[in-house]
Amino acid sequence: MMGVFGEPGLVLTEGDGCYVTDADGRRYLDLLGGIAVNSLGHGHPALVAAVQEQAARLIHTSNLFTTPGQVALGERLLEIAGAPEGSRVFLCNTGSEANEAAFKLARRTGRPDVVVLEGGFHGRTMGAISLTSKEAYRAPFEPLVPGVRRVPYDDVEALRDAVDESVGAVLVEPIQGEAGVVVPSQGYLEAARRITRDAGALLILDEVQTGIARTGEWFGFQTLAPGLVPDAVTVAKGLGGGVPVGGLITFGPEVSGLLTAGQHGTTFGGNPLACAAALAVLDTIAGDGLLTHVVRRGEHIAARIDALGDARVTGTRGRGLLRAVLLRDAVAPQLVVAAREAGFVVNAPTANAVRLAPPLVISDAELDTFVDALPTLLDRAGEKETS
């Protein structure tokens, strides 16, 4: 394997519910869910059955044809997004690919520039890294796609100043995941909506990490800014429960008409297997009341971590089951290792933040095992730092 991912932490062979098992037979509580992907955990019967049945029936057709599952998934996405009449969906395979489609949509406004926020992460393909904030991801690959303007996060004035008549779109993560689960101030998304509308630019929300019930509503914007209507939303990660599937949702007929026949495409996007998986995920979230479940579990773990009263934890951030545990000291990477040794999978998006994005089906009792272990994990992380 190419070295781009660094040294792998584990060799995993099996998964069951919220647990994964490694090649030595050790079990780990999966508090990362494949980075907000395994929405239903591992081996969920509804997802397994949907994939098995669809695999036996029809796996792939090409986009010269459509399938009932593809149409059904498109309709379901529009419904949960609260999209108006005339809205459309483009199905693809990954978050980066969804954002590439959004980038092309923005260019079709006839205005060349896109405004993005500092700290934002939008993927690793050439277009998506051009939109991404982190210098270390971009610098080795210059020259990148031109026309990207960066403004400070959560700064309404800076955004207003940046959005002029050459800006086709503003691209925003409702909660910045890779930056360490950073939530904007109340009213920021609404301000972004007003600014873009006044300037005639699109408001595109990157919901690749926050979408599909992760924050306790179907989409992060519905949690943070109820009633807001964006121009487009990108999704991926949690949608297929582990089967690669992503999408661009465009709101209303005008935006939905920007990309026309022949202007975009994908071979695998929206194939029947991926659509069956995504429909099983959406049906299970709705049918099992997982939106409420996610809100309650998220509040539970945040309250339990606060109640520890450990001075080495300065707080938590996030909504639903996308949370960061904030550390006083820059020992998040060491804590990830200590957690793994103790049987927990978490990750460290920054040196001071540990991210939790567990399966949406996780229980309070499972979450509690991590909170109970946290003081000891912090001891061990401290020892690793000094040794």
- Examine residue 177 and tell whether it contacts ligand PLP (CB under 6 A): yes
Question: What are the respective helix, strand and coil percentages of the chain, to the nearest 5?
Answer: 40, 20, 40
- Examine residue 34 and tell whether it contacts ligand PLP (CB under 6 A): no
DSSP assignment, residue 162? H
* CB of 100 or CB of 113, closer to ligand PLP: 100
Work out how close the CB of 31 gets to ligand PLP at its nearest, in angstroms, rounded to a whole number: 17
Torsion angle of the four alpha carbons 108, 113, 114, 118, in this order, in degrees rounded to the nearest 10: 170
- Examine residue 284 and tell whether it contacts ligand PLP (CB under 6 A): no
What are the tokens at 81?
């997004």
Stretch that binds ligand PLP, among 55-63, 201-209, 345-353, 358-366 (CB under 6 A): 201-209
Q: Within positions 99 to 138, which residues make up the interface with ligand PLP, using CB under 6 A?
A: 99, 121-123
Strands (E) across 261-378 are located at 313-319, 322-327, 344-345, 347-350, 353-356
Query: SS3 of 13, please?
Result: strand
- Examine residue 347 and tell whether it contacts ligand PLP (CB under 6 A): no
Residue 324 CA to residue 169 CA, distance in Å, equals: 29
Residue 55 CA to residue 60 CA, distance in Å, equals: 9
Q: Are 279 and 287 in contact (CB under 8 A)?
A: no
* CB of 178 or CB of 366, closer to ligand PLP: 178
The identity of residue 387, as a single letter, is S
* CB of 128 or CB of 305, closer to ligand PLP: 128
Work out how close the CB of 241 gets to ligand PLP at its nearest, in angstroms, rounded to a whole number: 14
Which residues are annotated binding-site positions for pyridoxal 5'-phosphate? 121, 206-209, 267
Q: Position of tokens 């070295």? A: 3
Stretch that binds ligand PLP, among 9-17, 88-96, 315-323, 365-373 (CB under 6 A): 88-96
Work out how close the CB of 246 gets to ligand PLP at its nearest, in angstroms, rounded to a whole number: 6
DSSP code per residue over 182-244: BPPPTTHHHHHHHHHHHHT-EEEEE-TTTTTTTTSSSSHHHHHSTT---SEEEE-GGGGBTB-
Work out how close the CB of 98 gets to ligand PLP at its nearest, in angstroms, rounded to a whole number: 7
Phi (first) and psi of residue 85, to 5 degrees = -50, 140
Residue 247 CA to residue 93 CA, distance in Å, equals: 7
Which residues are annotated binding-site positions? 121, 124, 206-209, 266-267
- ∠ CA 58-60-62, nearest 5°, is 135
Work out how close the CB of 49 gets to ligand PLP at its nearest, in angstroms, rounded to a whole number: 25
Q: Are 182 and 259 in contact (CB under 8 A)?
A: no
Strand partners, 14: 21
Work out how close the CB of 209 gets to ligand PLP at its nearest, in angstroms, rounded to a whole number: 3
Residue 305 CA to residue 314 CA, distance in Å, equals: 10
Stretch that binds ligand PLP, among 77-85, 151-159, 172-180, 291-299 (CB under 6 A): 172-180
* CB of 319 or CB of 380, closer to ligand PLP: 319
Stretch that binds ligand PLP, among 84-92, 93-101, 247-255, 276-284 (CB under 6 A): 93-101
* Interacting residue with ligand PLP among 208, 243, 255, 381 (CB under 6 A): 208
* 202-206 and 167-172 strand pairing: parallel
DSSP assignment, residue 143? S
Work out how close the CB of 178 gets to ligand PLP at its nearest, in angstroms, rounded to a whole number: 6
Work out how close the CB of 117 gets to ligand PLP at its nearest, in angstroms, rounded to a whole number: 11
CA atoms within 13 A on the CB side of 50: 24
Work out how close the CB of 39 gets to ligand PLP at its nearest, in angstroms, rounded to a whole number: 14
* CB of 100 or CB of 366, closer to ligand PLP: 100
* Interacting residue with ligand PLP among 87, 209, 223, 316 (CB under 6 A): 209
Which residues are annotated binding-site positions for N(2)-acetyl-L-ornithine? 124, 266
- Examine residue 96 and tell whether it contacts ligand PLP (CB under 6 A): yes
Binding mask 218-237 for ligand PLP (x = CB under 6 A): ------------------xx
Residue 373 CA to residue 370 CA, distance in Å, equals: 5
Positions in the binding site for ligand PLP (CB under 6 A): 94-96, 99, 121-123, 173, 177-178, 206, 208-209, 236-237
